[in-house]
Structure 1
Amino acid sequence: MATLTPAIRPVTSLAGPEPSLASLVAQISHMVGGREDSPDLGEIRALCDLLYTASLLKEEGRVVRARIIIAPPEGFTAQEGPPDGIHAIRFASTHAFTAGEIKRLSPAASFFHSLIAVWPEKDRGFRIWGLLNTGPRWLNLMAGGRKPGGITMPYPTIHVRDPGWLLFYQNYELLAEWRGREFHGPRMDVFQSRLMSERFADLRHRLARESWSHRLPETLTIEAYAELIHRIALQFLRRIVSLVRSSGHGGTLVIFPMKRNAEESQSAAERWIDCKYLASTESAGNRVKFLIEAMLRRLGELCPEGSSVEDAWSCFKKSTDPELDNLEESFFELARMYSDMMQVDGALVLEHGLNVVGFGGEIRVDMNVVHVEQSHDLERTQVSRWNVQSDGTRHRSLYRLCAVEPQAVGYVISQDGQVRMIANVNDTVTFWLHTAI
């Protein structure tokens, strides 16, 4: 089998030397070392090459998509299982570890629920010894969700995500990506950026004050409730983006500030976007606000007096309270509805309260934007100039919008799964690449 070595193209690195396939192989070797039958560097390198080859294949017209774990068979039991454990199904005899076998087995090992388990055998190299059922909770770490990601994953995993795209993880932490001809470290979680916190600060404090007037439990302070509003809203946005990515369609999401006062003749959204499907004011915003207030109230009831934000957030993520479960299901069903609106050509337009302005939106900004920067860190301390001509219509139209409306924040999800957050910072249109599963 021909070795597929990526042509390394330097990108900005934030923590130490830029990763390479050689350094990643050494890191994986360290993670699985210490046993007589542990794979050597050559075997791990061959495994990476083979998985890259598998990513380029198709199974009955479908893209090969799978998660592979490098782990010994005795590392898991058959008695445990999701949602709090991992269920191991061992094959009676191991199977050849080839690109074709990964292709054939991938439909039985759903990307979102299972892993293909491999480990070397003496003088035979890597072999496929079984399947591991993890359940989908691990997605909550990146895709938005209340339940924790499950138990610790003690062995490295490699995601065959799309053609020519591998992602390398240690305990659900992204180590590096091999994509096409590029090899680089993990991108950023844009939902943790200070920009997102600052743009939504007025909204969450206003909602917290309004909800407080409705007599939220005093087990938490109004400041704690405001921070919880922010975190819950970000979970909602994560889920929308994740659902659009999994659809393979792509889309654009734009979030505008609300009208500052009733005297304004037009909102910013109405000024710059024509929505084919415009939502009436009465139907747009009440559902999101109602669900967030209900979650806050229930959290306040579940938390003991004097709980901190982190105490309350831990309760939110881990509680098995039926009422909170029902509210979460309602909240994320609403996120699914929003993601479905993005299947229509044009942008989904929201205001800061996450209420729908409309969808099928056409951005109508008559100007050219020639200067766009890519930020290589969340705080925009390391940037590089970007050639806008290399981007498609969705990106360029959102660049123009952010140039004339500095408070707007946009997300573009490409058909290939790439996610960008776009905003205007200090009169410069900037984008961030978001870490995606």
Structure 2
Amino acid sequence: MSDLSSTPLDLAGMVGRLQCLLADHTAGPSETELREACNALYSASLLKEEGRAVRARVIIAPPDAFASSGGPPDGTHAMRFTASHPFTANEIKRLSPAASFFHSAVAIWPVKGRGFRIWGILNTGPRWMNLVAGGRKPAGDGIPHPIIHVRDPGWLLFYHNYQLIGEWRGREFHGPRLDVFQSRLLNERFAHLRLGMVHQLSDGCLPPNLSEADYADLAHLVSLQFVKRVINLVRSSGHGGSVVFLPEGEEGIEAATRWIDCKYTSEQDDAGMRFPHLMKSIIRRIGMLCPEGCNLETAWNIFRNSHDPELDRLEEAFFELARFFSDLMQVDGAMVVDQRVCVIGFGGEIRVDRNVFQVSQAHDLNGSELSDWNVQADGTRHRAVYRLCSVEPKVIGFVISQDSQVRMIANVDDSVVFWMHSVV
């Protein structure tokens, strides 16, 4: 498949991409049918089902593309209707409660002379969310067919094989956004802490089955799962929120005291070190499960696929902590943590007495492709974190809007830069 970023930013370009992805099927949909399908789903997004916005996933695939046996968590369960149903905005609205957004998809395919028809419901299970929500278990078998998410009013997202290929929001089309968790900046800002933690454990506490560098990289991957889970829980709450990462230790406490009024502050005791304690236990346990001479890829697969009871227990504790953090973010104001992911406080009012007029949006993970951004178009959460990053170069902030958009904000070479994160 061609580079996903080359998707033309209009409906015609998206229709052409979808047709290209379905080209192997001799009875595949025409451009006209695909265009009408996109318009129908956009219309469905504007409807209400018992007072709630319609939210659904729709997969474009023939009925014979899925086995009659099998199902979640590792596969898919296809329920085929005895008679197909019209593919209309109202029919998607009616089916959306039965095809729960996070667990199932409405399945459509064209019938000659009749256009698209709804032939069934595909139960995928929720593991596909692990790619963005931080779950440990793998997503299971891939689905090599286009899936369109009716996410919110006037908001469609186009996926292929769990990769975002485009977005139709309001009157505008966008290419795929970035997975900010793959950014070099996020990796580099926390690298010294990961290495320090591994050095602390290396003297007889870590099995020698992995190198120290691999243990540090493993800690990075597991940490990203935690932050993804926190952010996704806040997004799914519909409330929005923000979290800022300050330098560790006294430097972070001083920065918080100088710039942030936290209504609720936390004691800096051993209980506040729960995240690093759990992280150490997790990577130690993975090391014990790894064979001698193991590499990072094998260790990561062991983390994702192991049915080890102790690792399951640690994962449950880890993600319960993520839920706790997401609950703290429900209080108005920012949650403030240091780079060790230890809570300093929450309900924080950022009181930097400095206006920020110049902010850039990064269009690549390295932050080398930038464009100017209109700060006045943003809300108070974003502007507050912009101001904090302008005076504290080591700070990284995540802001989740009520409409589920996610941004990572940082100071890069004395300039405030943000990345728009991919969402589902």
Q: TM-score interval w.r.t. the shorter chain? A: over 0.9
Q: Is the 8 A contact 1:58 1:64 kept in 2?
A: yes
Between the aligned partners of 1:164 and 1:108, the Cα distance in structure 2 is 21
Identify which of 351, 355, 363 aligns with 2:342: 355
Give the letter for the 1:341 counterpart.
Answer: L
User: How far has the Cα of 1:313 moved from its partner?
Assistant: 1.1
Residue 366 of structure 2 aligns to a residue whose secondary structure is coil
User: How far has the Cα of 1:281 moved from its partner?
Assistant: 1.0
Structure 2 segments unaligned to the other structure (5+ residues): none
Identify which of 158, 162, 182 aligns with 2:172: 182
Residue 108 of structure 1 aligns to a residue whose secondary structure is coil
Between the aligned partners of 2:159 and 2:256, the Cα distance in structure 1 is 39
Q: Within 5 Å, which residues of 2 pair with 1:294-373?
A: 294-373=281-360
Residue 107 of structure 1 aligns to a residue whose secondary structure is coil
Q: Does 1:51 align with 2:41?
A: yes
User: How far has the Cα of 1:19 moved from its partner?
Assistant: 3.2
Q: Within 5 Å, which residues of 2 pair with 1:409-420?
A: 409-420=396-407
Q: Does 1:141 align with 2:131?
A: yes
Q: Does 1:374 align with 2:374?
A: no
Between the aligned partners of 1:326 and 1:200, the Cα distance in structure 2 is 26
Q: Give the TM-score normalised by structure 2.
A: 0.96
Task: Return closer, same or farther for 1:283/1:196 CA change in 2, 3 Å cut-off.
Answer: same
Residue 361 of structure 2 aligns to a residue whose secondary structure is strand
- 1:27-68 Cα shifts (integer Å, max 9, x gaps): 211222344432111101100010011011110111111000
Q: Within 5 Å, which residues of 2 pair with 1:12-411?
A: 15-16=5-6, 18-213=8-203, 215-259=205-249, 266-282=253-269, 284-411=271-398
User: How far has the Cα of 1:283 moved from its partner?
Assistant: 5.2
Give percent identity, aligned residues only.
Answer: 59
Between the aligned partners of 2:274 and 2:208, the Cα distance in structure 1 is 24
Residue 234 of structure 2 aligns to a residue whose secondary structure is helix
Aligned length: 422
Task: Return closer, same or farther for 1:89/1:158 CA change in 2, 3 Å cut-off.
Answer: same
Task: Return closer, same or farther for 1:14/1:370 CA change in 2, 3 Å cut-off.
Answer: farther
- 1:343-394 Cα shifts (integer Å, max 9, x gaps): 1101111111111111111111111111111111111111111111111100
- 1:120-152 Cα shifts (integer Å, max 9, x gaps): 112211111111111111011111121111101
Structure 1 segments unaligned to the other structure (5+ residues): 1-12
Between the aligned partners of 2:35 and 2:314, the Cα distance in structure 1 is 46
- 1:248-294 Cα shifts (integer Å, max 9, x gaps): 1100111111136xxx6943222211111111111553211221111
Partner residue in 2 for 1:4: none
Between the aligned partners of 2:181 and 2:144, the Cα distance in structure 1 is 27
Give the letter for the 1:427 counterpart.
Answer: D
- 1:162-188 Cα shifts (integer Å, max 9, x gaps): 111111111001111111111011010
Task: Return closer, same or farther for 1:164/1:214 CA change in 2, 3 Å cut-off.
Answer: farther
Task: Return closer, same or farther for 1:367/1:87 CA change in 2, 3 Å cut-off.
Answer: same
Between the aligned partners of 2:13 and 2:216, the Cα distance in structure 1 is 43
Between the aligned partners of 1:316 and 1:144, the Cα distance in structure 2 is 13
- 1:411-431 Cα shifts (integer Å, max 9, x gaps): 110011110111100000111
Between the aligned partners of 1:153 and 1:175, the Cα distance in structure 2 is 14
Q: Give the TM-score normalised by structure 1.
A: 0.93
Residue 315 of structure 2 aligns to a residue whose secondary structure is helix
Task: Return closer, same or farther for 1:372/1:147 CA change in 2, 3 Å cut-off.
Answer: same
Between the aligned partners of 2:172 and 2:405, the Cα distance in structure 1 is 14
